[in-house]
């Protein structure tokens, strides 16, 4: 099998991993060495589903001894061609892609070949070729395999920029149900180790920089050549495969940010790729739910929200028709309207329609100007949404709509641009009649009754159920 075929198979198997970020570490280039990394990361291409490609995202191998129900590489799935890269092949491919500016670096994940330790050793070997032999200074994201020896994970962390351990499912019951070979402990233990090693490494390097201690030349500790996973760690959860609520998921995410100091928690809407009786029997992909969860996640990380402000046990699911920030604002109308010209930055961030960029621009502009409607529109905040929650120059900007929860909710929930916004695939409403419906099926669509098409006969439905 040639390298292109291998790449095709092993990247196809890796694509369901949603994490593809190259951010979080700043490493300048060095003469004579290939590569650099920038704090903001860089997306080099975009797939036809609009997701960014910033790293060469592949599996080391798609051979796997585990049998996780949702995974395309599960042991019992015989439809997949199994193959694997040698460390050398993968390192050469990474360098080849990097030199052409196709990628920012490598995202290395793997199926579990033989056992977790062997797999981790293979990955370490690849990273070692890249870092030590080729002197590669680009970005590397490596996946820690649950169940691997902690020393091996430590080695991996010294070579990679970001490590991640996939939580996959938000509760231990679900994990036991769908991933019989993994336990919660086997996922949490490496996560904990990584978080401890990161903070240890940060502290150590800070101390080394300060030079507060004077060493005799022999006793001087050697400066650690590389920081341990300087871009931190992340994790991923599958949404919609198991019955957990948004409240549980966000609570878990918030506690991971707090206790494990994760950089990112990724949510991946469950896609049916393999059929299994334990999985939901539907083709619906909960993209909307994933989107709302990401919005809530952004509020946690960039907008200074606490998870209890976004969601509570009484309403365990995020509101579907307005975003979480608007929902919070609607439930806390006593805090609004705020004056954009005087209120604190933290409060500006909480106004629906004003984001981090908008709030910073407002802070910058209002030192020298009193902002009114025209200025706000020019600065690029979503004025149409923000106006119900602000005053400028002593005037409330949302005139014409009564300042109560129902009418504001109706305003904020109305589709953006009258529904012209968003992806095309979502705009075809099920059951919507089209001019060409039934033209092929029945000779004269206007005369034949359209009802049977939208409501299939009951016996048809049960048949489909049996097949599944």
Partner 1 sequence: MSTHSATDIFDEVAYIHDGSPEGMLTCIFEAYARHEDPAEVVSATSYQPQLLQRAVEVPTHPAHAARVSAGIRQRLGAFTQRQVMKCTLSGRPDAGTVLYRFIRFAYDGAKRRDCASCPYSAACSGRSCQRSQMAPVNDIAHPRVKPFHDAVRSVDNECEKIRQFARFQHLKDEEREVWFARINPKDAVVPLVLGHFIERFSVQPFILYDEVHGMAGIWDGKQRFLVDAEDDALTLPEVCASEVLMQDAWKAFYRSLSVTARYNPELRQRFMPKRFWKNLTEMQDGAPGLKAY
Among 19, 21, 24, 57, binds partner 1 (CB under 8 A): 57
Q: Which two tokens stand for residue 262?
A: 């994760």
CB 378, min distance to partner 1, A: 5
Q: How many residues bind partner 1 (CB under 8 A)?
A: 59
Pairing of strands 338-339, 390-392: parallel
Can residue 274 be called a binding residue for partner 1 (CB under 8 A)?
Answer: no
CB 100, min distance to partner 1, A: 5
Can residue 72 be called a binding residue for partner 1 (CB under 8 A)?
Answer: no
Among 19, 22, 24, 56, binds partner 1 (CB under 8 A): 56
Among 52, 65, 208, 343, binds partner 1 (CB under 8 A): 52
Site for partner 1 in 137-156 (CB under 8 A): 137-138
Site for partner 1 in 428-447 (CB under 8 A): 428
Among 46, 173, 282, 415, binds partner 1 (CB under 8 A): 46
Tell me the C-alpha to C-alpha distance, in Å, between residue 144 and each of 294, 314, 419: 24, 36, 42
Can residue 59 be called a binding residue for partner 1 (CB under 8 A)?
Answer: no
Can residue 44 be called a binding residue for partner 1 (CB under 8 A)?
Answer: yes
Backbone angles phi, psi at 142, to 5 degrees: -120, 150
Among 26, 39, 51, 207, binds partner 1 (CB under 8 A): 51
CB 45, min distance to partner 1, A: 6
The CA distance from 10 to 58, in Å, is 5
Q: Which of 298, 295, 377 is nearest to 340 (CA)?
A: 377
The CA distance from 299 to 304, in Å, is 7
> Please, which residue, 277 or 425, has the CB nearer to partner 1?
425
The CA distance from 28 to 295, in Å, is 32
> Please, which residue, 210 or 423, has the CB nearer to partner 1?
423
Among 299, 379, 381, 408, binds partner 1 (CB under 8 A): 379
The CA distance from 153 to 318, in Å, is 36
111 by Cβ neighbours in 10 Å (0-12 / 13-18 / 19+) ranks as buried
Helix, strand or coil, per DSSP, at residue 196: helix
Instruction: Give 107's strand partners.
Output: 57, 141
> Please, which residue, 86 or 245, has the CB nearer to partner 1?
86
Can residue 223 be called a binding residue for partner 1 (CB under 8 A)?
Answer: no
DSSP one-letter code for 267 = E
> Please, which residue, 262 or 354, has the CB nearer to partner 1?
354
Site for partner 1 in 408-427 (CB under 8 A): 423-425
Backbone angles phi, psi at 237, to 5 degrees: -130, 145
Backbone angles phi, psi at 27, to 5 degrees: -135, 115
Identify whether the C-beta of residue 177 lies closer than 8 Å to the C-beta of residue 242. yes
> Please, which residue, 42 or 338, has the CB nearer to partner 1?
42
> Please, which residue, 13 or 408, has the CB nearer to partner 1?
13
The CA distance from 14 to 72, in Å, is 9
Q: Which two tokens stand for residue 9?
A: 């198979």
Can residue 281 be called a binding residue for partner 1 (CB under 8 A)?
Answer: no
Binding mask 97-116 for partner 1 (x = CB under 8 A): x-xxxx--------------
- 């709302």: which residue's tokens? 292
Q: Which two tokens stand for residue 377?
A: 């529109």
> Please, which residue, 381 or 408, has the CB nearer to partner 1?
381
Site stretch for partner 1 (CB under 8 A), options 50-58, 220-228, 237-245, 336-344: 50-58
Sign of the CA dihedral with 410 first, then 387, 290, and 235 last: negative
- What are the residues binding partner 1 (CB under 8 A)? 3-5, 7-9, 11-12, 15-16, 28-36, 42-53, 56-57, 93, 96-97, 99-102, 137-138, 271, 285, 287, 361, 364-365, 367-369, 371, 375, 378-379, 423-425, 428
């Amino acid at each position: 099998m040639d390298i292109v075929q291998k790449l095709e198979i092993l990247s196809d198997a890796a694509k369901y991993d949603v994490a593809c970020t190259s951010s979080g570490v700043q490493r300048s280039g060095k003469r004579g060495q290939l590569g650099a990394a920038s704090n903001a990361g860089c997306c080099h291409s975009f797939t036809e589903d609009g997701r960014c490609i910033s790293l060469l995202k592949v599996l080391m191998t798609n051979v796997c001894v585990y049998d996780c129900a949702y995974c395309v590489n599960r042991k019992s799935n015989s439809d997949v061609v199994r193959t694997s890269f040698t460390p050398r092949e993968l390192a050469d491919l990474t360098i080849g892609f990097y030199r052409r500016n196709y990628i920012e670096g490598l995202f290395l994940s793997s199926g579990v070949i033989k056992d977790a330790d062997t797999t981790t050793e293979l990955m370490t070997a690849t990273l070692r070729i890249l870092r030590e032999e080729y002197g590669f200074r680009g970005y590397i994201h490596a996946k820690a395999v649950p169940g691997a020896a902690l020393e091996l994970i430590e080695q991996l962390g010294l070579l990679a920029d970001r490590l991640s351990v996939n939580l996959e499912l938000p509760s231990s019951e679900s994990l036991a149900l769908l991933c019989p070979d993994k336990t919660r402990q086997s996922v949490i233990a490496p996560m904990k180790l990584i978080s401890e090693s990161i903070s240890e490494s940060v502290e150590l390097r800070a101390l080394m920089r300060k030079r507060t201690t004077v060493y005799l030349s022999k006793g001087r500790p050697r400066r650690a050549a590389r920081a341990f996973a300087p871009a931190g760690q992340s994790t991923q959860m599958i949404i919609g495969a198991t019955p957990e609520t948004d409240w549980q998921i966000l609570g878990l995410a918030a506690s991971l940010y707090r206790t494990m100091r994760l950089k990112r928690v990724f949510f991946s809407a469950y896609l049916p790729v393999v059929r299994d009786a334990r999985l939901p029997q539907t083709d619906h992909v909960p993209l909307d739910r994933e989107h709302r969860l990401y919005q809530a996640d952004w509020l946690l990380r960039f907008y200074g929200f606490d998870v209890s402000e976004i969601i509570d046990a009484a309403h365990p699911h995020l509101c579907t028709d307005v975003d979480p920030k608007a929902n919070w604002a609607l439930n806390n109308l006593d805090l609004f309207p705020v004056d954009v010209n005087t209120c604190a930055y933290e409060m500006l961030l909480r106004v629906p329609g004003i984001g981090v960029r908008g709030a910073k621009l407002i802070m910058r502009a209002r030192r020298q100007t009193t902002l009114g409607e025209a200025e706000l529109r020019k600065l690029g905040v979503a004025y149409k949404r923000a106006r119900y929650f602000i005053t400028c120059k002593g005037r409330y900007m949302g005139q014409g709509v009564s300042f109560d929860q129902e009418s504001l909710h109706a305003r904020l929930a109305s589709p953006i641009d009258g529904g012209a916004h968003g992806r095309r695939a979502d705009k075809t409403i099920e059951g919507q009649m089209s001019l060409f419906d039934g033209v092929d099926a029945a000779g004269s669509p206007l005369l034949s009754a359209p009802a049977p098409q939208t409501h299939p006969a009951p016996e048809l439905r049960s048949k489909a159920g049996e097949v599944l």
